[in-house]
Chains A and B, each alone.
Chain A
């Protein structure tokens, strides 16, 4: 019996936490590598519509073969009347008028051209293949999307992507 009593008296040794930083760093690196940060924070308000069976744009992002433009309501609601249908276009965080609003009508074409010219020389994709991803608000009028499309057609940037939020495949429809 004396044997057991001895055991109870001994206090538990302190746990060695020296490897804890290693574990946490590992997690940290995982998140740093696995996530992509948002290109820009849009300067317009927008809620993406939902859809399924979409294409993942990550490979294009990794190759920088994609440019994003936002179409949504201006942050300041009083300014909405200055834009066609009350929706503003945001190109690289600069709020532009919609194609026939306040500013020059070829804002999209000029922006896309500039972006293409700034890409590094090792990028070999021609402008026809560089995607322009339209991130439009769910209630934005389609006419504006077609205005953008027209601008892109004029400069031969012939690939467009209509952004949606993926809700997964609807099981009932399968």
Chain B
């Protein structure tokens, strides 16, 4: 009796069980990733400033959509949303090589290493001054400005040329929708902006570093390589995406 062999368990149905589990997971999971346009919201201002600087008309690219889902860019009404990206490309490229003041598009200014050093020294002096008085807010503001100039200096060095042409600081894209405008139109506008900006950035990045911006960004998101970060910074200084979403009035 004690010597009797234990019979082997039949594992033939194991595959069936595994298949059952597999099918369950296949059916219940969704493969599509969550995709979105990520935007930042400006910080709330407690006390609205009294004297706002004037923004020149040439620096604004207003994309408007009304409650009938009609689109308008700079007083041109059209129905095909694909045209928005062409407008944005023109907005960036008109004065890119040489300033054309006669066109109604933003002008470019030239930044050099010398200018960066000058501005950085100025900012350092201002921080010191603010620290002396104890104005921490002002000190914070100037140190962020200092940071910006430092970034620009690094970018020029990486750019490899003596100067860097950058679009007017005030140049921005403005989205003005109405309360009843469909969400799909709103996202379509974001889509067109993204398309145009990414095209500009990809082309520039390919020209300078031999690979598209999107690829570098993807790699940076995975590996956080400092070299990639510098490349991204440079491209983002060359083609900044400043987007303002205007809250619709009631």
Are A138 and B184 neighbours in the complex by a CB distance under 8 Å?
A: yes
In A19-56, which residues have CB < 8 Å from any B CB?
A: 20-21, 24-25, 27-28, 31-32, 35-38, 49-56
Q: Is the CB of A161 within 8 A of B33?
A: no
Q: B195 and A145: CB pair below 8 A?
A: no
In the complex, A119 Cα to B12 Cα: how many Å? 46
B12 touches A146 (CB 8 A): no
In the complex, A93 has a CB within 8 A of chain B: no
Contact B82 A173, beta carbon cutoff 8 Å: yes
- Interface range on chain A (Cβ under 8 Å from partner): 35 or more
Q: How far apart are A36's CB and chain B's nearest CB, in angstroms?
A: 8
Q: Say how far B41's CB is from chain A's closest CB, in angstroms.
A: 5
List, in ascending order, chain A residues with CB within 8 A of B14's CB.
Answer: 21
Q: Does any Cβ of B come within 8 Å of A15's Cβ? A: no
Known contacts A53-B198, A142-B182: A61-B187 contact under CB 8 Å: no
**A residues touching B (Cβ–Cβ < 8 Å)?**
17-18, 20-21, 24-25, 27-28, 31-32, 35-38, 49-59, 61, 68, 71, 85, 131, 133, 136-143, 145-146, 149-150, 152-154, 156-166, 173-174
Give every chain B residue within 8 A of A35 (Cβ-Cβ). 25, 29-31
Q: Give the residue among A32, A51, A61, A142 with the most B Cβ atoms within 10 A.
A: A142
B190 contacts the other chain (CB 8 A): yes
Name the distance in Å between B175's Cβ and chain A's nearest Cβ: 9
- For A59, the closest partner residue in chain B by CB is B221
Assess the B180–A37 pair: CB atoms within 8 A: no
Number of A-B contacts (CB under 8 A): 164
Known contacts A51-B37, A131-B38, A139-B184, then 20 further A-B pairs from the complex at CB < 8 Å, ordered by chain A residue: A21-B17, A28-B25, A31-B26, A31-B29, A35-B29, A35-B30, A37-B30, A49-B187, A54-B37, A57-B33, A68-B34, A142-B181, A158-B42, A159-B38, A160-B41, A161-B38, A162-B36, A164-B35, A164-B36, A166-B33
A162 touches which of B42, B190, B248 (Cβ 8 Å): B190
Q: B209 in the interface, Cβ–Cβ < 8 Å?
A: no
Q: Judge if B148 is at the interface, Cβ distance under 8 Å.
A: no
Other-chain contact of B32, A61, A68, A165 (Cβ < 8 Å)? A165
Known contacts A49-B183, A138-B184, A141-B183; A149 and B35 CB within 8 A of each other: no
